[in-house]
Amino acid sequence: MSLLLAGASGQARAEEAREQVRYAVGASLSRTRGSVRFDERIEVDAALLDAARTLTLWLYADRAREVPPSYDEFTVDRLFPTGLSRGGFGDLTVEVEGCAVQRVAAATHADPVRGRDVPIAVCPAATSPLHVRVTGSLDAPHRYGTLGHAAGALMLGDPWYPLVVTPGAQAPPQTTHALRVTWDDGTLVDAAGVFTGGEASWTQQRATHAPLFLLSEPAVTKDAAGGVVVTLVTDRPPRAGDAPPSPEGWQQSDPWDPDATSLVASAVRSCIRFLRRLDFLGGDAPAPRTMPRSLVVAMIPERQRLAVALPGMVVVSDHAFLLLPLERVRRFHALAIERRVFDALVAPHVTATGGALDTQLAGDMDGVQLVDMMVASEREHRDRPKDLLGFFGFHPAVDTLLYAPHIAFHSAYFHDIDEDDPDRDGAQRARNALPFGELVLEKLHDRLGDEGFARAALAHFERGVDWKQAAEDAHGAPLDEFWRTWLGGRRRLAYGIAGRADAPLGGGRWRHVVTLERRGDTWVREPVVVEMADTSGERARRVWDAAGARGEVTWDSGAPLDRAELDPDGRLVEDQSLEDNHVRFDDETAHTWRPPVFNGFALTASVTEARLDASVNFIVKRLYDVREAWGFVAASTAVGQSGSVRYYRGVGPLRDPNSTQGTWSFGAAGLRSNSGFGGSPVPVTQGSVALGYAWEERKWLVDPRTGWGASAVLGGGIARQDDGAQYPTVGVSARAGKLWWVHPRHVLAALAGGGATYCPAVPQQLESLSGRQLLRGYAADELLGCAAAYAILEDRITVLRGVYWDAAQLAWFKGLELVPFVAGGFLSSRTTAADLLEHPYGEVGAGLRAFFDYGGVQPGVVSVDAALPLSRASTTYVDATGVTRTRPPFGLYVSFEQTY
């Protein structure tokens, strides 16, 4: 043991001797203002100067001056609580000892991912090592994440002071950072621990930078687990009933309480226990199978990434585990957090094993592999959203997880191989195009096979061989082509089954040939697995392992082919832009039908009319089929009770992975209307058919901010009154809307439409100008005619965003909009459409929209709308019984809408 420690200590001293840059940073932080003033001293080896004697300072935080690549209507609230906010460095002064002071003016623009590189001229009088002093200020953007300030916290997890880099470096060097920090308010959290009192000093070694967070009155829990002291910093302590009853860790006493603190603590303890089983020990210096003696885990206002490994610590989103209270669903979050915890715990092991791979990539590969090993050791498997279909397939949250174009923490649910990361946050990713470890590991597994990959993993974790060398040793040959393919940038690939054929061989034997297609970067060579099954139930797997656009796999069996599935384990990267349906749809020959899934639910109370309207919408389609579906709707409205069935055929480009921009539809509907609607004295039964077309570019169904949409319907039917009278008729209607996103918290919406029905017709068949979706100030059956035209203008103003208030651990309130509106239109008489322009109507009103998440993934809205009529012809009317009644002076609706 003493020899091992001596070796580790010698390795640490050798590494310190190789340091070409060292930092001493003094900083004054203001949590309330979200700002920093710093005085930084840098000792730099002159070998880092280029031929022109120029030193490069990397201003990572200047990236905040630009809109991040991920910024769109889906992410704006996850990024910016009060609208687009910019930050960045103020004027900097740079003084190289022996040279004149240089000033670096504040930038107006910077690369939104990389930040800004600033060249600093070094005069000949400067000696080696260079002594550089940098002073200046930083304004953190008002945003969620690892660099910003929001929800009462100042987050400085990414490089918040200038760093020295070489222009071509993929990341700044790992070195020593000595810090002395003062602050105005709150609790400081960094890799060294938790500090109060307004002043702290510490030194962090082997780090690209020193991350820190200034939080407002956090709860701090310390726990010794497996030789590692874990400091857990959250917004509240673990619930008393969940204190660890045994060394196995926290257990929840109330399954309906998310109690994220306890669940995060349990995930950390699980990781430490597993590493101890692999004979990892705590240590102070890099060495194989070594983990740090201490780890800080902090929950912060991070809404894009579920968990992040930073130098010496792990940060977890404060939205972790806010999901359906089902263990199988919350397991998605636990695995994502455990991956980053492993990444932090194996940092000494990664540093010691070294190798040719980037250290961040190698650490992420370790984190991914250790999670898989831990799951396998528990004799479990990693659920994917598809695995939930059997027991919970009808639930829309599961459907959202299957397609999920609009939810946070997408990778946590999908176990994505090629993880989407347009912003590339952090010191280790901003300056390069390297993939995450998941992609490299999966591709390496495919190349080496199960046995070869197991040998490589064993060599890495047990003998400390770096991943690249271990892989090539297991393969028995260099893997230069493999590394160039998967470390050289993102590859555009898509696969599909292009054809199948059966040929009898005689003697009851059959030969099955499946033709495969590769689209995009067809030069890529990777193993493509196809699983085939014949009609007798026999199964086999075959592999196409060649470059090119097309290939074949064959299998001989004793029965005709029943089905074939490409990539049954979900290991391939497929680019949606290369497909005209969901990327997985053409990966199989037999398409499974989904059970009926909720497509929408609405409940509306017309308060002034004392009426409750409701509708429920189901959709049935094949798994991963975006182009074809059947819809079923049941509704109860002012008109009556109705039901419909409709066939949908998607056309045009994809709007997102779950829908097309264009849709044709054809359907049939039935209606039963009791007496009273529109003054009708006799109940009516109606049947109809309709042909419709819609074009929709708005992607966000609940709270759209950009795009436009239009639809048109041609229908016909026959209404039969209970007294025997019949009224056949045909009609046409159209509606269009457009949105202007003029500000992150301000949207203008315009709607227009109209329709005409052949008269004579009963009131149930006429065109309407009033109701919840039209002129809201008038009663639902007040404005009926043979023809109608209308226009609505709304001003949607966000008054509250960025909150996440819990409601019974099933829904979380997210924000509030104020919506003033004005509407007007024309309505013909009930006998002819010719007098349409003779009867104008108008209204003004305002609404409130309360937005929430249900189950952690499914958005919904509660609306309140009040409207005042401006051109009412009469405040009285005669009902179906002949009694004169008074209309309410205004309209008031309260509605709940859940659209999937």
- pLDDT tier at 883 (50, 70, 90 boundaries)? confident
* pLDDT tens, residue by residue, 108-122: 889 999 999 999 999
Q: Is the pLDDT of residue 9 over 50?
A: no
Tell which residue, 567, 416, 592, has the closest CA to residue 495: 567
Contact status, residue 148 vs residue 155, Cβ threshold 8 Å: yes
Contact status, residue 571 vs residue 418, Cβ threshold 8 Å: no
Average pLDDT over residues 323-344: 85
- pLDDT tier at 387 (50, 70, 90 boundaries)? low
Q: Is the pLDDT of residue 250 over 50?
A: no
Q: Is the pLDDT of residue 465 over 60?
A: yes
* pLDDT tens, residue by residue, 595-626: 777 777 889 999 999 899 999 988 888 988 99
pLDDT at 249: 41
Q: Which residue has the higher pLDDT, 897 or 246?
A: 897
Q: Is the pLDDT of residue 248 over 50?
A: no
**CA–CA separation, 406 vs 403, rounded Å?**
9
| 53 Cβ contact list (under 8 Å, min separation 6) | 121, 122, 123, 124
Average pLDDT over residues 832-850: 94
User: What pairing do the DSSP bridges indicate for beta strands 130-139 and 92-96?
Assistant: antiparallel
Residue 40 structure tokens: 């930084």
* pLDDT tens, residue by residue, 504-545: 998 889 999 999 999 999 999 999 999 999 999 999 999 999
Average pLDDT over residues 17-46: 93
Q: Is the pLDDT of residue 324 over 70?
A: no
**CA–CA separation, 767 vs 827, rounded Å?**
8
* pLDDT tens, residue by residue, 213-231: 999 989 999 988 888 999 9
Residue 842: Cβ-neighbour burial (10 angstroms; 0-12, 13-18, 19+): middle
- pLDDT tier at 417 (50, 70, 90 boundaries)? confident
Sign of the four-CA dihedral 856, 858, 864, 870: positive
The H or E element spanning position 5 is helix 2-18
Q: Is the pLDDT of residue 491 over 70?
A: yes
In this structure, what are the phi and psi dihedrals at residue 10, rounded to the nearest 5 degrees? -65, -35
Contact status, residue 575 vs residue 568, Cβ threshold 8 Å: no
Buried b (16+ CB within 10 A) or exposed e, 789-810: bbebebbbebebbbebeeeebe
* pLDDT tens, residue by residue, 866-881: 999 998 867 777 665 6
Q: Which residue has the higher pLDDT, 303 or 792?
A: 792
pLDDT at 83: 81
pLDDT at 356: 76
Percentage with pLDDT > 70 across the chain: 90
DSSP of 829-880, one letter per residue? -SS-STTGGG-EEEEEEEEEEEEEEETTTEEEEEEEEEEEESS-S-SEEE-T
Average pLDDT over residues 267-295: 91
pLDDT at 415: 63
| 551 Cβ contact list (under 8 Å, min separation 6) | 515, 516, 518, 528, 544
pLDDT at 326: 67
**CA–CA separation, 156 vs 215, rounded Å?**
11
DSSP of 473-502, one letter per residue? HHHTS--HHHHHHHHSS---EEEEEEEEEE
CA angle 210, 214, 216 (to 5 degrees): 160
Q: Is the pLDDT of residue 590 over 70?
A: yes
CA angle 212, 104, 30 (to 5 degrees): 30
CA torsion 137→138→139→140, rounded to 10°? -160
**CA–CA separation, 454 vs 833, rounded Å?**
77
**CA–CA separation, 136 vs 101, rounded Å?**
13
Q: Which of 70-74, 851-855, 864-868 comes out lowest in average pLDDT?
A: 851-855
Contact status, residue 482 vs residue 444, Cβ threshold 8 Å: yes
Q: Which of 103-107, 234-238, 389-393, 543-547 comes out lowest in average pLDDT?
A: 389-393
* pLDDT tens, residue by residue, 145-197: 999 999 899 999 999 999 999 888 889 999 999 999 999 999 999 999 999 99
Average pLDDT over residues 757-784: 93
Sign of the four-CA dihedral 439, 444, 446, 451: negative
